[in-house]
Structure 1
Amino acid sequence: MQTEVLRVDRNNIDQKIIKKAADLLKKGELVAFPTETVYGLGASGLNDESCKNIFKTKNRPIDNPLILHISNIDMLYNLVEEVSEDAKKLFGLWPGPLTIIFKKSKLIPTTVTAGGDTVAIRFPVDEIARNIIEEAKIPIAAPSANISGRPSPTNASDCFFDLDGKIPLIVDGGESRIGIESTVIDLSEDIPTILRPGFYTLEMLREILPQVRLDDALVDDNVVPKSPGQKYKHYAPKARMQVYVGDRAADFIYKKARSYRSQGIRVGVLIFDDDMERFDDFYKISFGDRNDLRQMSHKLFAALRQMDKMGVDLILAEGVMDNNLGKSIMNRMKKSAAGNIEYL
């Protein structure tokens, strides 16, 4: 299969490309497209065979449910059993990087829910994503457009690297604005529970739903995650990765980098702007301003993929404190580093 990449200008969206993507989806094909979080690998969300193809193409574990993407609130009501008052309160954050888990309706294929009785729904704000869904007039199942376990793609080039020859079309909308996946909140039980941290933080959601809590697995490594996908290795570069957090992190990374390099190890460094100069003789990428965590989240996955392209053996990365958006970033870094995080 030849994979076509078609560029769409967000300021002047080419509806011919949108229609081509929608037609392919309606025919049961897979299409990669941008969202504000990361690029998604889309399939018709009500077509069981198409959704099965997502799992095959990504090599995705079959017990990891898919998220259905909608283009307006009206689409939601056929997909879920009930819309609670808590859910309606969260609609103020839609469209946006928030996934809500509901009890599913009978319309939802078993493959989407991995056999469970709940379904995850997201209403993306990205103009290209919404145009495609609106043109297709069906909910689109769309996990990240990568091979499972790899860093999520935030641009069309990284999608192409993973999916070339496996899907017919990638819609190129430039870089994703946020760079990490949506916050996932479960409203299917009595207490609203965050299963995956994202752009919308615990602190932000508590302003709307004061009773919201974090899933126990997000605060205790010994607890099995309620969200099946959270138990798997994610976001991993090819190189081994170590993360250091604290006021002394940059100094510690510098010493470690020199030591490892003296052993013949190709070391890559992920740090912030104010420490870039001291690492001039290393492979390095900046997360940007250390006081701008949105910039860091935007750069994280692309930086991990770039380190792979540089061919490093080991990545030494500076992390951030585990609160607010930092919790979402560290959730991804922890998985990328297989838990190798040291607080200094």
Structure 2
Amino acid sequence: MLRDEVANAFKVLQDGGIILYPTDTIWGIGCDATNTEAIKKIFRLKQRDEAKSMVILVDTENKLESYVQEVNPLAYDLIEYAENPLTLVMPGAKNLSPAVIAADGSVAIRVSNHEFCKQLIQRLRKPLVSTSANISGKPSPQYFSQIDQEIIDGVDYVVDLEQHSKEIRNPSTIMKLAPDGSFEFIRR
């Protein structure tokens, strides 16, 4: 089942599509983080201002250096010891669509510990956009049954995993990490 869902989602992403999928936090809408056209589809579906950047997922912390020019060594400790999923906002984004890079050149990046996400990212060999499965301004759904039909109908593929789970999941903690090692919480 997992293998089939990874294969199905991979095909959609390869073709420039967008998917609705479970993550280690809340359900997300995603696409290839290097495909600007696919990212624009997500902005349209969410009715979100394109000036707001989105989180990207990688499968291992080793990939941080592929998408951030200079990773502060503290980032690895923060990821290793975080009790909850942690998104780090770091300057110097590279090798990504400009649509996921903030105006200040930073990127919000999280190492996913979710098996589906890890396998899909490994197969895609690129990071995955991960933005909450809601229309901008509406509450983020805590599980699949809370996702608006408009979102479900608006994606190219809905991953058939964990749809009946009622486990309450919360968005990740977001921390902005500066090159000098100073940091601030954006969302706890």
Q: What is the DSSP-based 3-state SS (H/G/I as helix, E as strand, rest coil) of the residue aligned with 2:147? A: helix
**Structure 2 portions without partners, runs of 5+:** none
User: Does residue 42 of structure 1 match 2:30?
Assistant: yes
- Partner residue, 1:185: 175
**More displaced stretch, 131-140 vs 76-85:** 131-140
What's the TM-score once normalised by structure 1's chain length?
A: 0.50
* Contact map agreement 2:20 2:152 (CA 8 A) in 1: no
Q: What is the DSSP-based 3-state SS (H/G/I as helix, E as strand, rest coil) of the residue aligned with 1:32? A: strand
- Partner residue, 2:85: 97
Q: What is the DSSP-based 3-state SS (H/G/I as helix, E as strand, rest coil) of the residue aligned with 1:165? A: helix
Q: What is the DSSP-based 3-state SS (H/G/I as helix, E as strand, rest coil) of the residue aligned with 1:186? A: strand
* Contact map agreement 1:41 1:145 (CA 8 A) in 2: yes
- Partner residue, 2:9: 21
Equivalenced residue count is 185
* Distance (whole Å) between structure 1 residues aligned to residue 23 and residue 83 of structure 2: 11
Q: CA deviation at 1:137?
A: 1.8
Q: Which amino acid in structure 2 is aligned with residue 194 of structure 1? A: F
**More displaced stretch, 167-176 vs 118-127:** 167-176
Q: Deviations over 1:221-271 (max 9, x none)?
A: xxxxxxxxxxxxxxxxxxxxxxxxxxxxxxxxxxxxxxxxxxxxxxxxxxx
- Partner residue, 2:45: 57
What's the TM-score once normalised by structure 2's chain length?
A: 0.88
* Contact map agreement 2:143 2:169 (CA 8 A) in 1: no
Q: What is the DSSP-based 3-state SS (H/G/I as helix, E as strand, rest coil) of the residue aligned with 1:143? A: strand
Residue of 152, 158, 169 corresponding to 1:170: 158
**More displaced stretch, 96-105 vs 48-57:** 96-105
Q: Deviations over 1:278-315 (max 9, x none)?
A: xxxxxxxxxxxxxxxxxxxxxxxxxxxxxxxxxxxxxx
* Distance (whole Å) between structure 2 residues aligned to residue 89 and residue 60 of structure 1: 33
- Partner residue, 1:194: 185
Q: Deviations over 1:150-201 (max 9, x none)?
A: 221233333352313211211132437452210001112542100111xxxx
Q: Which amino acid in structure 1 is aligned with residue 174 of structure 2? A: V
Runs of 4+ in 1 over 6 A off after TM superposition: none
Q: 1:130 to 1:95 in 2, by over 3 A?
A: farther
Q: What is the DSSP-based 3-state SS (H/G/I as helix, E as strand, rest coil) of the residue aligned with 2:171? A: coil
Q: CA deviation at 1:56?
A: 0.6
Percent identity for Structure 1 against Structure 2: 28
User: Alignment RMSD, CA only?
Assistant: 2.0
* Distance (whole Å) between structure 1 residues aligned to residue 111 and residue 83 of structure 2: 5
Q: What is the DSSP-based 3-state SS (H/G/I as helix, E as strand, rest coil) of the residue aligned with 1:111? A: helix
Q: 1:49 to 1:124 in 2, by over 3 A?
A: same
Q: CA deviation at 1:46?
A: 0.8
The higher-RCO structure (CA 8 Å, 6+ apart) is 2
- Partner residue, 1:286: none
User: Does residue 121 of structure 1 match 2:109?
Assistant: yes
**More displaced stretch, 63-72 vs 169-178:** 169-178
Q: Which amino acid in structure 2 is aligned with residue 156 of structure 1? A: F
- Partner residue, 2:123: 135
Q: 1:21 to 1:103 in 2, by over 3 A?
A: same
What does 1:1-344 correspond to in 2, within 5 Å? 13-93=1-81, 97-159=85-147, 161-171=149-159, 172-174=161-163, 175=165, 177-188=167-178, 190=180, 191-197=182-188
Q: What is the DSSP-based 3-state SS (H/G/I as helix, E as strand, rest coil) of the residue aligned with 1:134? A: helix
Q: Deviations over 1:31-54 (max 9, x none)?
A: 010112100100110111111111
* Distance (whole Å) between structure 2 residues aligned to residue 111 and residue 63 of structure 1: 8
Q: 1:17 to 1:98 in 2, by over 3 A?
A: same
